[in-house]
Structure 1
């Protein structure tokens, strides 16, 4: 049985080292996401050799594991995970699988897994430069919203720091009140993860930006690097009554990312969680690609 443990903030150092070496593309392979959502999905972590193992339970009570993050042949790691699931008395399910992960699994364990597409978990990935310039006819409406905001507001953009972090939280509370976070389970869960990002903003090494209109915070966003060429946006909130605030915070933070991380090519804006409005908004920016995700259920004996 694998010795899994609760995720703590001081796990960041060793987990970040393993994730950097693995250079995975899914947003779930990010310490901030693992840590922030650990109370919701009961995440536990373990290390075997140079592999990170993550174990969780979805909102329907189904236990699952992430595909192991590391370098080299993962066969014995996957076998150990399967044995852990068997010892615990539940099905062995690998969640968040990419098509590349599936190809490796099938080469090691042919016909031993059945796969299910998880469209609600697909990550939306954009070209960073496109989010900065908003060039092209496809996103002309985004430029129009930005121009409207600039025309009708005395505005400023700031990088989030210890001095203005609390003001962002106050705006977040205002956003939650308007959207009924206390009454909607999905939003309540999200806000729990958001709270952890605020509480551990410095320790997590997060970056963020806020947008003001006449001194009032009307939008904020947070993120950090996902892998060698991609930045991950964890949170983006804006007050609905301020036209163009979402588009403006999106563009201004993308500009900051490009300045601070000139080596990056993409921005991962994570999944839509099956929310129709969120899906429409993410598609409206015309992602350059989607990071597909699948569940793999073990259905046979271990390979020989």
Structure 2
């Protein structure tokens, strides 16, 4: 491997062109500019080139191989061989999504992947940034017009070349006088000097704006691919309104027609820079991924993983309390129902397939209920949950006709064949001043009353969960107490006629579950609730009709695994346990 230099960069360039990755690290100009901080080493072969980069006091990391797609396998093999021979970590960084997908498909379960969110390239429409046309560009257009109004006749745009070099250096010294110069700024300054000192030898271009004879803005760019230009550096006097917009616009006006996109690199995780780049309305962001050759494994949970499972649960389900988490892991969690995707000692993601009995067309059917779906935040966006869920579905194929699932985002699971099957209606009750009927509300004294009401209610329903007395005593009532939910039974003529599970805040009363004996009981119960001063929301089955404003909601998804068709009518389920 040899160090990339001004003397040999052209050896690597043809291979980068073959790969056509469109991401800003895959550019010899970028590599040379930052060589004082990130040294790049490369080796070329007939069909591919491999490169790694070094930072001071850090292990080298590989970049994607540069070649056509059909030579990637042998290129990655060369990276593996070199890593083993020279003791370099077999890690590939700055991968595009397309390359990441290829790596995962080619080497299944061999690489640990992570999403480098802060390293995403911001890509813009060249014409939009050049013309500033359209509603999205209104603010930028206003700033540019303000610049023209104040400086028309006083500014001139010039191409970046040898004659502007010393003026750029003077402006850099002025710009740095307002900064706390750190290693990154020093390395950038060194890189700018390197590029401009060799402006005739390197494929770089750019522009400058002079106001009253003084350079106040400049940029440096190079072609990243056939249809994309990359802005390496762009600096302007921030005291001059619209100047940043002007330098980009005027430069883009000089480009050939075949340039369609502008790559403005990443935001480095800096909030102000992220906002500025987002405000420019990118047409897309190029995702970047890192990888390490580290085997993945799917396994059933055991006691050795419990602490990490619980930690991930607490991290990802932040609405849970210490008490509710303790309740879940004592009463509901079972190792045999929990699947894990792990890499060495690291928990990547998890889910649980908890068995549940539902009643379909009068018959009890045992189905898995998918809960506790969570991914380690460091590995979100890498497809691991999809990998684990597909595996889980294969394990129950042929053993059950259906799988049930609840989610925060229903759309995520549609690609896996889940359908929004169960609906409920959230009613905002219309306030009433009429006196309620002669029923009374009482606290729960006997859980059997709740079970009796529930079973009677479900006689006219389909797809409902089979509950028993143990469920009410050991799960339903304790869970309500943890969440400060109040359970009240509605009585008429010394008979229980319905019950509600309610949550109360300063302004609202929310009925999470409402079970009623018949239509008359429902209306009587609602009449009581409608007299509340607070806003009252009630979650009801789809057949119920009450006075108020209705909002249908999905409450459960279903995936069909066998030939049996899931019923459509009178479905009811209200499960969060």
TM-score normalised to structure 2 length: 0.49
Q: Could you tell me how far 1:59 is from its partner in structure 2? A: 6.0
CA distance, structure 2, for counterparts of residue 74 and residue 9 of structure 1: 27
1:21 maps to what in 2?
A: 18
1:298 maps to what in 2?
A: 293
Residues 197-250 of structure 1: per-residue CA shift (max 9 Å, x gap): 222222112111001111110000011110111111111001121221111101
1:163 corresponds to 2:163: yes
Which has the higher relative contact order, 1 or 2, with Cα contacts under 8 A spaced 6 or more apart? 1
2:73 maps to what in 1?
A: 75
CA distance, structure 1, for counterparts of residue 203 and residue 104 of structure 2: 37
Contact 2:221 2:233 survives alignment (8 Å): yes
SS of equivalent to 1:219:
strand
Q: Could you tell me how far 1:264 is from its partner in structure 2? A: 1.5
- CA, structure 1 residues 60+151, in 2 after alignment: closer, same or farther (shift >3 Å)? farther
Q: What pairs with 1:106-255 in structure 2 (closer than 5 Å)? A: 106-153=104-151, 154-181=154-181, 184-255=182-253
TM-score normalised to structure 1 length: 0.92
SS of equivalent to 1:140:
helix
- The answer to which of 94-103 and 187-196 deviates more is 187-196
Residues 59-98 of structure 1: per-residue CA shift (max 9 Å, x gap): 6713211110111231122122122222332421101111
Contact 2:146 2:241 survives alignment (8 Å): yes
1:268 maps to what in 2?
A: 263
Structure 1's unaligned 5+ residue stretches are none
Q: Could you tell me how far 1:168 is from its partner in structure 2? A: 1.4
CA distance, structure 2, for counterparts of residue 60 and residue 277 of structure 1: 29
Residues 136-166 of structure 1: per-residue CA shift (max 9 Å, x gap): 2222111111111111121111111211222
Q: Greater CA radius of gyration, 1 or 2?
A: 2
SS of equivalent to 1:111:
coil
Contact 2:93 2:289 survives alignment (8 Å): yes
CA distance, structure 1, for counterparts of residue 50 and residue 5 of structure 2: 15
Q: What pairs with 1:34-49 in structure 2 (closer than 5 Å)? A: 34-49=31-46
CA distance, structure 2, for counterparts of residue 194 and residue 112 of structure 1: 40
CA distance, structure 2, for counterparts of residue 278 and residue 173 of structure 1: 21
Which of 55, 62, 67 is matched with 1:65 structurally? 62
CA distance, structure 2, for counterparts of residue 241 and residue 179 of structure 1: 15
Residues 25-76 of structure 1: per-residue CA shift (max 9 Å, x gap): 1111111011111221121111122312211124671321111011123112
CA distance, structure 2, for counterparts of residue 7 and residue 297 of structure 1: 24
Contact 2:118 2:266 survives alignment (8 Å): yes
SS of equivalent to 2:178:
helix
2:2 maps to what in 1?
A: 5
Give the strand-richer structure, 1 or 2. 2
Contact 2:31 2:38 survives alignment (8 Å): no
- CA, structure 1 residues 198+180, in 2 after alignment: closer, same or farther (shift >3 Å)? farther
CA distance, structure 1, for counterparts of residue 87 and residue 224 of structure 2: 33
SS of equivalent to 2:253:
helix
SS of equivalent to 1:282:
helix
Q: Could you tell me how far 1:135 is from its partner in structure 2? A: 1.3
CA distance, structure 1, for counterparts of residue 295 and residue 43 of structure 2: 25
SS of equivalent to 1:91:
coil
2:400 maps to what in 1?
A: none
Contact 2:22 2:224 survives alignment (8 Å): yes
Q: RMSD of the alignment, in Å? A: 1.6
CA distance, structure 2, for counterparts of residue 278 and residue 191 of structure 1: 19
CA distance, structure 2, for counterparts of residue 267 and residue 48 of structure 1: 31
